[in-house]
Structure 1
Amino acid sequence: MHHTGGPGWRITMDTCAPMLVALYLRDVAGLVGAGTPALSHVAPSVTAADHSMLTADVGGNDALRDQWEVWWSRLLQNVPGNQQKLTPPDFPEMAGMPALQLVAHAHFGAAMNWSREQSQLYSLMAAQRETMGGHKILADLVQNREMELGRSARDFTLTIVEVPLAEQRAWFLEPDRLIMSSHLIDDQEVFRSYVQPVVELLV
């Protein structure tokens, strides 16, 4: 986790393990374009499997997509607050979502392993950024906006959730959150194109 801040404002960058598990389950279930925002598939990619037989008695793939989208929406509402971790084998966090529970049960071990691996890689990458000053662009964006406006920034908090996505971009969730590909900051010009308008809005 990284914090950048000044008087009254704070920007946090981190990843989110429950969201990593959710994205793994989305991709292993082949739910392309599911959820709002519709994030690209994860990288490294996950091989999709056909779950139509598994979920046939509980609504099939349509029910699975609907249930995943409800669960995803709940996860987004709780970022950056307390994120519920899944509790096998019954997954009470998915109560009323039988198709999703079946898929979670089938892939829970692999999803957790993948999530842990990605979290560890993120921690190493974040530590390297700290050493190299890779987050300086965040403070620069705020300071440049303050100079343009001729005043200090308003009080604000911006939470940036980084996840390993194939598409290098960010998605703004009003009023103060961004979901972002975890390598977007490596290309500071593209990073700036997504983050600067949000900073301008908040400052």
Structure 2
Amino acid sequence: MYIAGTESCQISVDEPSALVVALYIRELIGISGLTAPEIPVLDPSSDIWPAWAPRPSAGLAPPPDPFAGLIDREQTAREWARWWRHALAVGAAAIDDLHPPKFPAFHATPSLRLLLQVHYERAALWADVISSDPRVKRAHSAPRDGLETLAREAARSWGARPFRLRITVIPVQTEHAWQLGPDHILMTRHLIADRENVLDWLRSRILAMS
């Protein structure tokens, strides 16, 4: 995560690990069409393990299929969608809900809780490996200097009023962004890495907010 701008006028960029874990779980169990906006599949795919990273191998046994008589897929999908909305809203703080092995924060979503008990360790390892790739850090930082300039432009437009914009990044296919609210944008990693394109896209929206 980083913040461009000043205390009173800032743009933050973050790729919350809880969202990466949630997307891994979604892909692993094969549920889709549950988000608004609809989110593409992971890139890289959840079945790809980077060649440069040690595999989880020895310590992790193949996970059982939780849908083999244990939980209902449709119920789990609804619970996952509820979790996604919450994690997207709170951002980085969503990781505080993920406390294995009992996952007490998920007591109201028992199917999802069981799913996390089965898959969380593998999902968290995958998310850590993917997010620690130096190419990811370069992608996030690509527009940083331009965001500093945009924050200064916004400060001039907004005058004495404080300005906050949160950019949440997710590692999925396509180059796209979605305006979730006046101060929150969901953006793919492919778009944040495209410096000129993302700055052009953001400039008109930020200045229109003044």
Please state if 1:21 is matched with 2:30: no
C-alpha contact (below 8 Å) 1:2/1:126 kept by paired residues: no
Aligned residue pairs, count = 195
CA contact (8 A) 1:26 1:34 kept: no
State the shift of 1:186 in Å: 2.5
Q: Which residue of 2 aligns with 1:139?
A: 148
**Within-5 A mapping of 1:100-111:** 100-111=112-123
Of 176, 187, 190, 2:194 maps to: 187
Aligned residues: CA RMSD: 3.0
The residue type paired with residue 86 of structure 2 is R
TM-score, normalising length: structure 2: 0.77
Deviation at 1:51, TM superposition (A): 5.5
On the 8 A contact 1:51/1:103 being kept in 2, the answer is no
Deviation readout 1:103-130 (Å, 9 max, x if unpaired): 21221121011111122126x6436865
Q: Which runs of 5+ in 2 are unaligned?
A: 48-62
Matches within 5 A, 1:69-108: 69-79=81-91, 81=93, 83-108=95-120
> Residue in 2 aligned with 1:66?
78
Residue of 44, 53, 57 corresponding to 2:67: 53
Quick one: distance in 1 between partners of 2:7 and 2:100?
43
One-letter identity of the residue aligned with 1:61: R
* Structure 1 residues 120 and 108: alpha-carbon distance in aligned structure 2, compared to 1, 3 A threshold: same
CA spacing shift, 1:35–1:70, aligned 2, 3 Å: same
What is the one-letter code of the residue matched to 1:2?
Answer: Y
Q: How does 1:111-122 map to 2 (within 5 A)?
A: 111-121=123-133
Indicate conservation of the 8 Å contact 1:52/1:61, yes or no.
no
Contact 1:37 1:171 in 2 (8 A): yes
| Equivalent position SS for 2:98 | coil
| Residue from 198, 202, 207 that aligns with 1:200 | 207
Q: Secondary structure at the match of 1:84?
A: helix
The 8 Å contact of residues 192 and 198 in structure 2, kept in 1 or not, is answered as yes
Consecutive unaligned residues of structure 1, counting only runs of 5 or more, are none
In the alignment, which residue of structure 2 is the partner of 1:10? Answer: 10
Does structure 1 conserve the Cα–Cα contact (< 8 Å) formed by 2:5 and 2:148? yes
Partner of 2:53: none
- Match among 160, 170, 178 for residue 163 of structure 1: 170
Deviation string, structure 1 residues 28-54 (Cα, Å, up to 9, x no partner):
11112222232111110124x995733
For each residue in 1:89-115, what CA deviation from the matched residue of structure 2 results, as whole angstroms up to 9, or x when unmatched? Answer: 222121122221222122112101111
Contact 1:172/1:179 (<8 A) preserved: yes
